[in-house]
Amino acid sequence: MTTGPFDLSGKRALVTGARTGLGQGLALALASAGADIIGLGSQAMPETRGRVEALGRQFNEVVYDLKDPSGIAEMFAGLVAGGATVDILVNNAGQIRRSDFIDFTEEDWDDVLNINLKSAFVLSQAVVRHMLERGIQGRIVNIASLLSFQGGIRVASYTASKHGVAGLTKLMANELAAKGITVNAIAPGYMATDNTEALRNDPDRHRAILERIPCGRWGEPTDLDTAVLFFASPASGYVTGQVLAVDGGWLAR
């Protein structure tokens, strides 16, 4: 059994976008510290279930497409009615669309903003109400990005959404700290996930990115483990409103 400042035994974490990549890694990190997991994704996630259960933790799967935030509150109410409690929320689900600014479509703008920002807002509202009703000293961890600090190129909706995630994190932290709920964000750098496959397959972009990262490599999902465990644990009770870059030194360059 996990002991120490990052012990999450007896806690339950809701992780969005838990099927693959960073979301799966975050779910596994929390499960390894003792938390049971509710994984939310647009498709079934048998691999995540198997790996969480192999750690001896419970896994509850919720299949829901966050491109439509209108049903999130009802979906979460169904979870609670089924007996679920949530101590930790990780708003990880995200999507990126690439196109020159002048060609960027309204559909690509709306889909990305709905998944990356609006769904995080609506789900956080539902979870916070639940935490307040149950007297839960909750933890919310949002997944921001380097593009919460920078502009990027050809990713208009992603950049706007991740700036929004950083701002929402601080707003929520201000309002919820006195209620015993902390809200922080992790801003991953260039990670080896599906979202960066196009960049990693472009020799020129791949080389240029690696040349700027002081650590000299792409990040892996496990590089976020200690950050999410810190923000999710009782040990970080006096830390809120922070956006922590886990980027191999990119922003310092």
Nearest partner of 18 among 80, 57, 63, judged by Cα: 63
Q: In the structure, how many helices (H) and strands (E) does the chain have?
A: 9, 7
Please tell me the distance from the alpha carbon of residue 169 to that of residue 187, in angstroms, as a whole number: 12
How many residues in total does the chain contain? 253
Rounded to the nearest angstrom, the gap between the alpha carbon of residue 16 and the centroid of all alpha carbons in its chain is 7
Please tell me the distance from the alpha carbon of residue 162 to that of residue 253, in angstroms, as a whole number: 21
Q: Which of 64, 158, 190, 238 is catalytic?
A: 158
Is 238 considered catalytic here? no
**Can you state the percent helix, strand and coil of the chain, rounding each to 5?**
50, 15, 35
Question: Where does residue 206 rank: exposed (0-12), middle (13-18), buried (19+ CB within 10 A)?
Answer: middle
Give the ranges where the chain is alpha helix by DSSP (H): 21-32, 46-54, 72-81, 106-113, 119-134, 156-176, 197-200, 203-212, 225-232
Residue with token string 């689900």: 93
* Residues labelled catalytic: 158
